[in-house]
Amino acid sequence: MTLPGMDISALEQFLRAQGVPVHGELRVELISGGRSNLTFAVADDVSRWVVRRPPVAGLTPSAHDMAREYTVTSALRKSAVPVAETIAFDATGSVLGAPMTVVEFVDGTVIRDQRDLAALTDDQVNSSARQLVRVLADLHAVDPASVGLEEFGRPHGFVARQVALWSSQWERVKTRELPDVATLHAALSEAVPRESAASIVHGDFRIDNTILDSDDPKTVRAVVDWELSTLGDPLTDVALMCVYRAPIFDKILGTDAAWTSPRLPAPDALAQIYATASGRDLDNWGFYLALANFKLGVIGEGITHRARQGSDTGSAADRAAEATPEFMAAGLRALKGSAQ
C-alpha cells in the first residue's frame, strides 16, 4: 500500500545512516494526517518510532515547523514536562521530500473525540483534565535558558505581534466581510497588556495533543504536536486552551472533539486550576480570551478558504468558517466584560 508522504526504503536508509539499529523490515502505518502534520507509526522487529512530517499539500512552513518541534522536545527531555525521546531529524527534507522528525513511540491513549472520552469515567475525565492543566503550568515554569532554549523565540512584543499576525492572516484568507473582525482587531490593538515574563509556550495545548497512560488516564505520558511552540506570554497558551472548550470549535475540527465535551471542567474552572498550580495571576484575562477567540475565528475562516482553493479536503472543511462569527462575537464579549 502506498502512503502519501512516506518512502519506507528511504526512511530505513536514513535511520541506519543515523546509527539507529533496524531489525527486520520496517512496517509503517499512518496515524493521523489532513490539516496537521502527517504522523506515522513505524516499527521493526524490535523497536517502534513515530515519524512526523508536514502535509503533502497546502504547506505553510510556519505552521508545520519540524525543526522547532525537534528542538523543543529535545530540550525538554531535561525538564519535568513529559515528551517523547528524540531519535533523529532530517532538516533538509532529502528523505521524504519535506523535513521530518523521528521520536520514540510512546505507549498510551490519545483522546481525540467524544467517543474516545466515553471510555473514561467522570472521575477519570476530571482528574485527567486537572493533570493536563498542571502539565501546562509545569511547562511555563521551565526556565528557557536552563534547557538551552533562551534563543527559541522573540518574546519581546510577542502579544502585539500576535494581534497583528492574525489580522494580516484574516486579510489573506477571508471569504466575506465581517465587521466584527475589524472591530475586535482594533479593540485588541488598543488593549495590549504590559508584557509578562516569557516562558516556553506550546501554542496548541488540549487533550488530543497529549498521550495519556492507558491504565491511569490522569497520568500524561507525553505532550505532542510542538510545531507552534516558541517563547512568549504563557497566558496566551492558557486562554487558547480554555477557548478550545467552546462547542463551536467542533466546526473547525469537523468532529465532536473530546475537549469540547461538557464532561470536562468549564473554561473558568480550568483557568483557576492553572492559576493555583502556577501561582500566576490571570491579569487582563479578558484580553487573552479575546485574542484566543480572534485567532480561532481566523483559523476557521482559513480552513474554508483553503477548501475552496482545493488544498484542504478534511472533514467538513468547507463549513469551518461558520464558526468565525461566533468566535469574533465571543472575543468582543470577553473584552467588554474585562472593561466593566
Mean pLDDT of the region 102-119 = 96
221-230 confidence digits (pLDDT tens): 999 999 899 9
pLDDT band at 340 (very low <50, low <70, confident <90, very high): low
> Is the pTM for the entire model greater than 0.75?
yes
pLDDT surpassing 90 at residue 140? yes
Sheet bearing 86-90, strands edge to edge: 27-32, 38-43, 48-53, 100-104, 86-90
| Residue 1: predicted pLDDT | 64
3 state SS of 29: strand
Q: Where are the alpha helices (DSSP H) in 157-312?
A: 158-173, 179-191, 234-243, 249-253, 267-278, 285-309
Paired residues of 201 in beta bridges: 230
Sequence-distant (6+) residues with CB within 8 A of 6 are: 28, 30, 38, 40, 51, 96
Q: HEC profile for 96-140?
A: CCCCEEEEECCCCECCCEHHHHCCCCHHHHHHHHHHHHHHHHHHH
Q: How many CB atoms lie within 10 A of CB 333?
A: 14
Mean pLDDT of all residues belonging to the chain: 93
- Say how far apart CA 192 and CA 7 lie, in whole Å: 46
315-337 confidence digits (pLDDT tens): 588 899 999 999 999 999 999 98
Nearest to 171 by CA among 161, 181, 180: 181
> Phi/psi of residue 164, each to 5°?
-70, -40
